[in-house]
């Protein structure tokens, strides 16, 4: 009798485990490992460039372009892109936005990203 009770508890536990870990997963196919690495690299680049924008803004009382940040030393070198992505920035005295866009033709599943002075990365169209 004890064995049957333990078996029932085990089956219920396994069902809960399976439901818990499969219910939140997207229906989209998994990204290729290289694409995942590139996406993580792009997000890291965006954060690094946004931090350079903050350094530039502290020194110049305005945000600058990628070229301005490299020239001033706020950013070590110009990042023009990463495999499958190109970078572009718009800056003004009180805001900036750096965009990572998928190159043409875009890789399947490629997502465009942007970061601004809030330091939040968002996916964009």
CB neighbour list of residue 57: distance below 8 Å, 6 or more residues apart: 63, 64, 96
pTM to 2 decimals? 0.68
Evaluate if residue 88 carries a pLDDT over 70.
yes
Spatial separation of the C-alpha atoms in residues 79 and 66, rounded to whole Å: 8
pLDDT band at 24 (very low <50, low <70, confident <90, very high): low
Q: Give the Cβ contact number of residue 74 at 10 Å.
A: 20
Domain-wise residue ranges, the chain: 32-124
* 33-82 pLDDT per residue, tens: 555 657 888 999 999 999 999 999 999 999 999 899 999 988 887 877 77
List CB contacts of 30: < 8 A, sequence separation 6 or more.
none
- Which residues make Cβ contacts (< 8 Å) with residue 88, sequence separation at least 6? 98, 99, 101
* Confidence (pLDDT) at 110: 84
> Considering the chain, what percentage of its residues have pLDDT values greater than 90?
43
Does the pLDDT of residue 27 top 50, yes or no?
no
Distance CA 115, CA 89 (A): 10
């Amino acid at each position: 009798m004890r064995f049957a009770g333990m078996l029932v508890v085990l089956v219920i536990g396994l069902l809960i485990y399976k439901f818990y870990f499969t219910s939140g997963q997207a229906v989209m196919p998994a990204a290729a490992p290289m694409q995942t690495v590139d996406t993580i690299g792009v997000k890291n680049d965006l954060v690094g460039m946004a931090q350079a924008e903050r350094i530039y803004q502290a020194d110049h009382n305005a945000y600058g372009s990628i070229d301005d940040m490299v020239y001033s030393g706020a950013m070590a070198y110009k990042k023009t892109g990463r495999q499958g992505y190109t970078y572009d920035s718009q800056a003004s005295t009180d805001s900036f936005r750096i965009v990572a866009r998928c190159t043409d033709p875009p890789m399947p599943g490629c997502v465009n990203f942007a970061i601004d002075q809030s330091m939040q990365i968002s996916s964009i169209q």
